[in-house]
Amino acid sequence: MKKLIFSSIALFAFSFMGSAQAKSDTLMVLGNCGMCKSNIETAATKAGANSAVWNKETKILVVNYDETKTTNLNIQKSIAAAGYDTPAIKATDADYLKLEKCCQYDRNPKKEN
Ligand SMILES: [Cu+2]
């Protein structure tokens, strides 16, 4: 019985430690449609996010991740590689052009190139 109590305390402490590393961030990511939503969310989870929810109307992506497993920047890199500009990383033109026509969102019209 003592052993059982001890292991449940250990388990509790362990899960508490785990949650201390959980992080939630919001990122502005431009996109158009439901396909963009799945592209963006898939890219974020591929980079190690535990969950990713992008809102088509607000263009806000909410990611939850474990800081011991991935980083905000990692997630942004993955999203940029999928063709979407993020606050820290701009997608390359080549990656942007790989998007379906309907997904080629209006990029900053003042971009220089
Ligand atoms: Cu789209």
pLDDT 10s digits, 5-56: 566 655 555 555 555 589 999 999 999 999 999 999 999 999 999 999 999 9
Domain segments of the chain as ranges = 21-103
What is the whole-number distance in angstroms between the Cα of residue 12 and the centre of ligand 1? 42
Report the CATH fold assignment for 21-103.
Answer: Alpha-Beta Plaits (3.30.70)
Query: What are the b/e assignments for 59-86, b being 16+ CB within 10 Å?
Result: bebbbebeeeebebeebbbbbbbbbbbb
What is the whole-number distance in angstroms between the Cα of residue 91 and the centre of ligand 1? 15
pLDDT 10s digits, 102-112: 999 999 756 55
What does pTM read for this prediction? Answer: 0.79
What is the whole-number distance in angstroms between the Cα of residue 19 and the centre of ligand 1? 33
What is the whole-number distance in angstroms between the Cα of residue 30 and the centre of ligand 1? 10
The three state secondary structure string of 55-109 is: ECCCCEEEEEEECCCCCHHHHHHHHHHCCCCCCCCCCCHHHHHCCCHHHCCCCCC
What is the whole-number distance in angstroms between the Cα of residue 88 and the centre of ligand 1? 21
